[in-house]
Structure 1
Amino acid sequence: MESVEHISCLKVKISNVSLDQLPELLYNLLETGESHHIVLLSLWDLLRARKNNDYRAYVQSAALVIPISKSIVGGVRFLTGKTIHRVMPFEFFIKTLTALEERQKSVYLLGSHLKSLKTAERNLKHTFPRLRIVGRCTGDFKRTEEATILTAIRKASPSLLLAARGIPGQERWLARNKLALGPGIKIWCSDLFDVFAERKHRPGKKTFDRGFEWIGYTFHNPLHIFRIFPYLYYKFLLLYYKLFRRG
């Protein structure tokens, strides 16, 4: 596999990967015939990984941990002097699906509600006609149905499993069932299906590049304003690690 630089930020793994590198990295992961997962890491995810052992293990064991928050890029630069790539989630998924379509790979859609899932599937088929969608399942399944769903996904053997909100345990479900899901790439895509179903807006490119995407999220959920406190805690941690520790 092409060499990927992994950097520690507050003892959480970060991968320095550009969008141009992504297709080849995906192909290399698929060629191993093993189960891999990729994490798109926000600042809040980084802080969660520091205090939640299960989530930390999920992040640390990922094939790629790609930062999506400008604050992470700034933190890495502050601690190490290195400038790493930050990727816009929507661009990441477009690049990923395009790369898989070029080699006529397959995808399985898991999560969200039926209406959004069906609309997202239809739009994905229209946008990526040579990408094979080999199955879909809503996330509101019962625990008694879990074994059947795992078997269905494993038999479908998708190159990529996209898992969205609605699944019990969210990313923890992916981590817990990593081997049972069979080989291929697994990615937690949060609200991607709602975006493809045009039920949720994504931040514009300029807004994202400036690191202002949080403003739109705060308008939709005013409670996000309280994230200023973990943000200040993050700044304190950076200073502490810079002065007294490494990583």
Structure 2
Amino acid sequence: MVKDMSKVVSIMGIPFNNLSKQKLIDKLFNQEMTKGFIVTANPEIVMETRSNEDYKNCILKADYVIADGIGVIIASKWIKQPLQERIPGFELMMEMIKYASSKGKSCYFLGANEAVNLKAVENLKIQFPDLIIAGHHHGFFDLDDRKIAEQVQEASPDFIFVALGMPKQEQWIAKNIDSFSKGIFMGVGGSFDVAAGEVKRAPDIWIKLNLEWLYRLIKQPFRWKRILKVFEFIFRIILKKY
């Protein structure tokens, strides 16, 4: 896969692909991409790259860096290089699963705890009866454990969804992707929790108003420190203190 550098907007040194959700899907599916690394980056991820050079290099290794967070969209508008739209990681994952189901492609689900991982796979199989599950494994393992990567390789999946949370999920992908002959890799954070029914997404009206972050904060007050990172991100953009 050749890194797509068309229409890139740099925010704090992270190159975001300026694509609509539909255009991204067209590039992934109509061009039959067989190997690649997708990052859906929010302000928290961008801020982490400021203090973690290794993590930044992992993000820069991605073929596509997509804006998943209204804070990134606001920042792009402030620097007068507006990104077309926010593309939530969960929605992109579901589009990829839908495509895989319709085309006889297989998926591997790596991450979350064992119960959530299994429930997510079961629910997705109910929603997409034709989905081929190449395999699944919980996320409680050492990132340096080559056996896990080898296990995924042996399953030969077309799509690999990694739910280890940041920075671990992107670090694991960047560390192992070169040893795979095929597979589209994407870090999906808490998406397995949503797929398992453990966490509910915000109602559509909240999502349309770009207030999903506020809904999550109301439902999960312990996230307040993460929300502070978003505001720090915005202030740094405004003050040009990158």
Measured against the shorter chain, the TM-score band is: 0.7 to 0.9
Q: Is the 8 A contact 1:106 1:134 kept in 2?
A: yes
Q: 1:83 to 1:135 in 2, by over 3 A?
A: closer
Distance 2:106 2:60 in 1: 26
How far does residue 187 in structure 1 lie from its aligned partner after superposition? Answer: 0.8
Corresponding residue for residue 45 of structure 1: 45
Corresponding residue for residue 55 of structure 2: 55
Corresponding residue for residue 208 of structure 1: 207
Corresponding residue for residue 216 of structure 2: 217
User: Alignment identity in percent?
Assistant: 25
Q: How many residues align?
A: 240
Distance 1:69 1:4 in 2: 21
> Normalising by structure 1, what TM-score?
0.84
How far does residue 235 in structure 1 lie from its aligned partner after superposition? Answer: 3.0
Corresponding residue for residue 132 of structure 2: 132
SS of the residue corresponding to residue 84 of structure 1 reads: coil
| CA root-mean-square deviation | 2.8
Map 1:72-83; keep pairs closer than 5 Å.
Answer: 72-83=72-83
Q: Which has the larger radius of gyration?
A: 1
Distance 2:20 2:134 in 1: 28
Counterpart amino acid of 1:104?
Answer: G
Counterpart amino acid of 1:188?
Answer: G
Counterpart amino acid of 1:49?
Answer: T
How far does residue 22 in structure 1 lie from its aligned partner after superposition? Answer: 3.0
Distance 1:156 1:89 in 2: 24
Distance 1:167 1:80 in 2: 28
Corresponding residue for residue 111 of structure 1: 111
Q: Is the 8 A contact 1:120 1:197 kept in 2?
A: yes
Question: Once the two structures are superposed, what CA deviation does each residue of 1:17-60 show, in whole Å capped at 9, x if it has no partner?
Answer: 222123332236754x54x2111111111111222112211222
Distance 1:3 1:177 in 2: 22
Question: Once the two structures are superposed, what CA deviation does each residue of 1:168-221 show, in whole Å capped at 9, x if it has no partner?
Answer: 933312222222344211111111112111111112222123232222332344
- Which stretches in structure 2 are left out of the alignment for 5+ residues? none
Distance 1:168 1:211 in 2: 24
Distance 1:134 1:153 in 2: 8
Counterpart amino acid of 2:27?
Answer: L
Q: 1:223 to 1:177 in 2, by over 3 A?
A: same
Distance 1:75 1:143 in 2: 32
Map 1:168-207; keep pairs closer than 5 Å.
Answer: 169-207=168-206
Distance 1:62 1:211 in 2: 25
Distance 1:227 1:9 in 2: 19
Counterpart amino acid of 1:134?
Answer: A
